[in-house]
Structure 1
Amino acid sequence: MNILYAIQGTGNGHISRARDIIPHLQNYGNLDLLISGTQADVSLTQPVSYKLHGFSFVFGKNGGVDNWKTFKIMNLPQMFKDIRSLPLEKYDLIINDFEPVTAWACKLRRIPMVGLSHQSAFLSEKTPRPKTLIPNWEELILKHYAPVKEAVGFHFEKYDDFINTPVIRKEIRELEPINNGHYSVYLPSYDDTKLAQLLKQVKGTRWEIFSKHTKKSYSLENVDVFPVNNEAFNKSLASCEGLLTGGGFEGPAEALFLGKKVLSIPMTGQWEQQCNSEALRLMGIPVLYKLDADFVPSVRNWVENGVKVEVNYPDETASIIDNLIQKYR
């Protein structure tokens, strides 16, 4: 069986999850990999058959997307060309992790495809979302960015019968969590210098910030700042007291799996992150929405009084992939 696995390359979560899924897919046939996007800090160890520009957003420094930089890297003519030219007909099974080029190519050519992603969980109305009084255009973007009809989803809890708990990477499962008392920070849409100035005000606490916006390490009083590095971040996470992070999916899931406290600050104007943070809030995890005058007191309160939320994330990746293959082959 010839299988194509198309992976979103914006952010680190999709590729991190794929690194654990790929070995299982390879057991069922000849596997080709496709990645589109430009904003990941981790990479695959396996060869990639198709590396496409895709349609990515660029993280800003003020809590949201950098719209100007996103516009500058946009290349819609190339995306349309890729949609038309991908040789999808040679595959017996196409699996998509929120990758738009393959998704739209399959939709326009009426080629069957199955979603395998966190975003697939939003096909269910049972998946938590913030309450809104008006129709949300961001929900439409999430639905049509990489459209799928058949899907296997992942989320913090099993909100529906096709939704599974998170894929926790093998390298995270093999860590031995300890508590050295520091707090790890991953907020890629914020400027590290601004974060350091704020977090240094939480005295008596060590902070380890991992930033997309710096290429060298530096320190400011009780704050250490590092460029994003997978191995260094995993080490920090395994030995921290808690994780201060955005509204992503894999990062909070891994921290919860390791028994760490979590504080979430979702990106502004990013519906999926707003939804993820709502799900975390319902689980009892504190959520902040901006770096305002209440930020430092709220973080200090979390450090002093925050509690860990227990989760059960068993290793079900092999059975999830086997069930997918048996159903859609």
Structure 2
Amino acid sequence: MKILYGVQATGNGHITRARVMAPALAEAGLEVDYLFSGREPQGLFDMEPFGDYACRRGLTFRYRPGGRIDVPGTLFGNSLRELFRDIRKLDLGGYDLVISDFEPVTAWAARRRGVPSLGIAHQYVFNHRLPGGHQSRGTRAAIRSIAPVDTAIGLHWHHFGQPILPPLISPPRYPVTLEADKILVYLPYEPRDELLRWFRPFDDHRFVVYSAVDRPQTDGNVHFRPFCRDGFERDLASCAGVISNSGFGLASETVQYGKKLLSKPYLGQVEQLSNADIMAELGMATVMQQQFDPGQLAGWLRQSNPEPGPYPDVAGALARWIAGGQREAVSELARQLWSRYEVQTIAGDRLALERAT
């Protein structure tokens, strides 16, 4: 079976997910080509798992400082004419299946040419009813219009009684240790001066900040490091906690590594706000709403870490399911995977989560 795998590269979470899927698909005997869109090619890093991959402009979002979506910048920064041209010209000859991680060029090209398509992304959970008030018919319509697929598989921390799969992440590559004063920070849209103002007063901790710098830099107890997947994983394995936005991928990794999480959702982003609500309900994170709160940070720094919570091999299960012709219903695949991870209950309005033993 020959597959074209499209990846939305605006955020690193989609690429990280594809890095997990790539070896699983190869092990299942599937031939896969990769296409990335939403980021300039020179902004991609650690792309060795994808071989001779292709790039298209696709769609991207612009953000203001603090993570709020820059609506005018997003509208004028995207070329719909170029997007439509890339969709029309994408050659799908010889491909048996298109997989889209919320990537529009491959998804729409498959729709136009009648090639079977499969969506694997966190965003597809919005096709289902989730707790909280941050979804609507408009949200579901937007998801379908950006990257439409024949079969959509959503990923989340809880199945909510729906055919939703657990997070798709790789097992820890490094031993989980604890440097009690080391805090890992990933807030890419917060200005540097703002981060320094937040973290300098807590001089009994080291804040390791991954950001758009070209070399390591240190300012007191705040250490800036350039984006690097391997370095990030090493720091994640050894830190005492993580401060990040409310993206799905990194939050999932903190659960697996057993690290406490302080989450600051991007305002105006439905996905982030929904994730933040569910993190709080599941007890996964301390959520910082709107403005930075030094008192909340101080309290969070004193918290202990949870136990690591390894996820099942979702990538391997998906790859085997695809190679086998997708004969089982997604609901059955979800049931099998959740049964290996945890017993899920919903008691009243409160979510409860117990890991299976």
Measured against the shorter chain, the TM-score band is 0.7 to 0.9
Measure, in 1, the Cα distance between the counterparts of 2:278 and 2:206.
28
The answer to whether the 8 A contact 1:12-1:41 is kept is no
| Cα distance, 1:274–1:139 mapped onto 2, change above 3 Å | farther
Match of 2:105 in 1: 101
Residue 164 of structure 1 aligns to a residue in which SS? coil
| Within-5 A mapping of 1:244-283 | 244-283=243-282
Distance 1:317 1:235, change over 3 A: same
Distance (whole Å) between structure 2 residues aligned to residue 48 and residue 141 of structure 1: 31
1:164 CA displacement: 1.8
Q: Which amino acid aligns with 1:192?
A: R
For the residues of structure 2 that align with 1:114 and 1:29, how far apart are their CA atoms?
15
TM-score normalised to the size of structure 2?
A: 0.82
Could you say which residue in structure 2 is the equivalent of 1:29?
30
Cα offset, 1:204, TM superposition:
1.9
Please give the alpha-carbon distance, in whole angstroms, between the structure 1 residues aligned to 2:110 and 2:248.
26
- Where structure 1 has 5 or more consecutive residues not aligned to the other structure, the ranges are none
Map 1:58-137 to 2 at 5 A.
Answer: 58-67=62-71, 69-125=73-129, 127-128=130-131, 130-131=132-133, 135=136, 137=138
**Does 63-72 or 319-328 show the bigger shift?**
63-72
Once the two structures are TM-superposed, the CA of residue 66 in structure 1 deviates from its matched residue by 3.9
1:159 partnered with 2:160: yes
SS in 1 for 2:5: strand
More deviation in 278-287 or 25-34? 25-34
Aligned counterpart in structure 2 of residue 299 of structure 1, from 297, 300, 304: 297
d(CA) in 1 for partners of 2:199, 2:264:
14
Secondary structure of residue in 2 paired with 1:91: coil
The aligned residue for residue 20 of structure 1 is: 20
SS of the residue 2:126 aligns to = helix
The Cα shift of 1:235 comes to 1.7
Number of the residue aligned with 1:211: 211
- Sequence identity, in percent? 31
State the distance in 2 between where 1:30 and 1:321 align: 11
Q: For the Cα contact (< 8 Å) 1:35–1:48, is it kept in 2?
A: no
CA contact (8 A) 1:211 1:228 kept: yes
Q: CA deviation at 1:309?
A: 6.4
| 1:278 CA displacement | 1.7
In 1, the alpha carbon distance for the partners of 2:279 and 2:34 equals: 32
Deviation, structure 1 residue 176: 0.5
Distance 2:266 2:188 in 1: 9
TM-score by length of 1: 0.88
Secondary structure at 2:120's aligned position in 1?
A: strand
Measured in 2, the distance between the counterparts of 1:136 and 1:124 equals 11
1:238-263 Cα shifts (integer Å, max 9, x gaps): 11110001111111111111110011
What are the superposed Cα offsets for residues 30-53 of structure 1, whole Å, 9 maximum, x if unpaired?
Answer: 322111110665342122443111
Distance 1:168 1:278 in 2: 21
Alignment check: 8 A CA contact 1:151 1:162 kept: no
Q: Is the 8 A contact 1:201 1:296 kept in 2?
A: no
